[in-house]
Amino acid sequence: MSEKKLRMAKNAKLMIDILPDKCDFCGCCVGVCPDDAIELKEAEIYIIDERCTNCAKCVWSCPIEVIKFNKDGVYEK
Amino acid sequence: MKKNYDVIVVGAGPAGSMAARYAAVQGVSVLMLEKDRDVGYPVRCGEAISKAGVEEFIAPDEKFIASHVWNFSMTSPDGTEVTIPLEQEGYVLERRIFDYELAKSAANEGAEILTRAYVYDLILEDNRVAGVKYEYRGEKHEAYAKVVIAADGVESRVGRWAGLKTHIHFSDMECCVQYTVSNLKVDPNTVYFYFGSHVAPHGYFWVFSKGATTANIGLGISGTVGKKRSALSFLQEFMEKHHPEASVLTQIAGGVPCSITLEKISAPGIMLAGDAARQVNPLSGGGIASGMIGGSIAGRIAGESVKMNKPDHILSYDKAWADRLGKRHETFDRIKNGIYNFSDEKFNSIAHSFAKVSPDKRTLGNLFRTALFNNPSLLIDVAKVFLK
Ligand SMILES: Cc1cc2nc3c(=O)[nH]c(=O)nc-3n(C[C@H](O)[C@H](O)[C@H](O)COP(=O)(O)OP(=O)(O)OC[C@H]3O[C@@H](n4cnc5c(N)ncnc54)[C@H](O)[C@@H]3O)c2cc1C
């Protein structure tokens, strides 16, 4: 799905999951998030549901593949 | 807990500590808040820096220097290695000690420091930033300040809450992963760089020695590449191929914003410094020295503004930074964009040309010149980069 289509999915279900057990809390995803939709504390991370537009920039920028599309998301490489 | 300060700094990295120190040294009250339990840890960094970059702020001390660097090695995609002696000494640091010493230098000027203090919002009054809201050991607190300096690193959320556009385009984000490994053989005085589409497309791969058997080994790739393949998969492949014997002591991830500085790094009541302002050298991805420079300018101007009782004085920070480094970073960014598009063949031909230069004539400047003389097409590329 293109970036644009994902954006149009605003208000759709949250399609992205962060796997907190595997996360390194490095902040890369937070830095690229255009909607300030990721909360990151010392060892705690979550997506702020009502802000996320499923734009997927966090998925692409995660260096260690711990942000993924969930079952509601479609991900084509 | 005290509720009023002249200056509040968010984040105790190199930029935050220098901001706190350069404000505190003027006798104004300073509070620095850090979300992690320890200053300097975890270390998300390759830890390479020039000697001059350190000396401007702190006397070099063996306790935070893991190795002294005298050589730069570059390996092209076909495996051709060229080694160049550096004209200036460099270091690979122990940042967990280095960052600690920087914070201590701020504390010694009178700055208060709180760790495990997570800033979750700003206090806004009359269209200006008037303080911060933070969680400290499970309790919520508010503190007011005449100036807030956001040195909160790559996340850069604090600036966003003040209405500044700080998020980084994902093609400018170098998405990195690094192992610190032991039981491998490296020259302790050399930093190694590897280029090419199979090791680190739109970025580079590094091996920074920390002594003869230990090194930081990592890479950065642009978020655009990350769409197809993660940084971690490149690192695993490299280790299997080149250092299967090494044991991994630490794995860290991290992002380096490699772009020009944000359009605005100050607004009423707030200044941004370090990665949060995008003060990283966009060509090398080095942000320790430039972050300390940005932080020190921000801290100095914040202190002056408090002492003169001129809130608007902080807006002079944008120009002061542009004159010191910001404009130079614009040139580096153009070169970076040129190099991004180099093919593997181009990296190979540069290495081949330079391998012909006699060892005593090898300097980084000469590498550039040789590349230009022997590859007229490259000259056009570099010219394009400079003229754009
Ligand atoms: C893998 C990797 C390798 C690198 N290698 C090099 C290198 O070899 N040489 C070099 O010069 N640079 C390197 N860099 C870049 C360098 O690490 C950074 O540019 C530098 O650390 C920036 O300093 P800073 O003070 O701006 O931010 P940081 O050092 O990131 O400090 C920001 C601090 O703010 C804290 N913080 C964030 N949000 C909050 C909040 N809401 N409340 C309270 N505290 C908060 C964070 O916990 C952190 O401690 C590398 C970066 C990475 C990721």
User: In this structure, what CATH number is given to the domain that contains residue A11?
Assistant: 3.30.70.20
Which residues in chain B are contacts of A24 at CB distance < 8 A?
251-253
Structure tokens at B50: 């020039």
Whether B274 contacts chain A with CB within 8 A: no
| End-to-end CA gap in chain B | 53
What is the band of A10 on the pLDDT scale with cuts at 50, 70, 90? low
- Tell me the pLDDT of chain A averaged across its residues: 84
Would residue A58 count as lying in a domain?
A: yes
Contact B170 A30 (CB under 8 A): no
**ipTM higher than 0.90?**
yes
Q: Enter the pTM of the model.
A: 0.94
Residue spans of chain B under pLDDT 50: 388
Residue B180, C-beta contacts closer than 8 angstroms, at least 6 positions apart: B210, B214, B215, B216, B217, B248, B249, B250
Would residue A76 count as lying in a domain?
A: no
Number of domains in chain A: 1
Mean pLDDT (whole number) for A41-63: 93
Which residues in chain B are contacts of A28 at CB distance < 8 A?
154, 173, 175-176, 253-255
B103: which DSSP letter? Answer: H
pLDDT at A72 over 80: no
Chosen for mutation from A39, A45, A46, A60 (greatest number of chain B CBs closer than 10 Å) is A60
Q: What is the pLDDT of residue B363?
A: 78
3-state secondary structure of B252: strand
Q: Which domains does chain B have, with CATH numbers?
A: 4-44+96-168+260-327 (3.50.50.60), 70-88+170-257 (3.30.9.10), 336-386 (no CATH)
Whether A76 contacts chain B with CB within 8 A: no
Would residue A77 count as lying in a domain?
A: no
Q: What is the pLDDT of residue B86?
A: 87
Which residues in chain A are contacts of B176 at CB distance < 8 A?
28, 63
Q: What is the pLDDT of residue B360?
A: 80
Q: How far apart are CA B59 and CA B55, in angstroms?
A: 5
How far away, in angstroms, is B2 Cα from ligand 1 center? 27
* Domain region containing A41: 3-69
Q: Which residues pair with B139 in a beta bridge?
A: B136
Would residue A29 count as lying in a domain?
A: yes
- Using the Cα atoms of residue B331, residue B337, residue B341 and residue B342 in order, give the sign of their dihedral: positive
Helix B376-387, helix B344-355: angle, nearest 10 = 120
Q: What is the pLDDT of residue B375?
A: 59
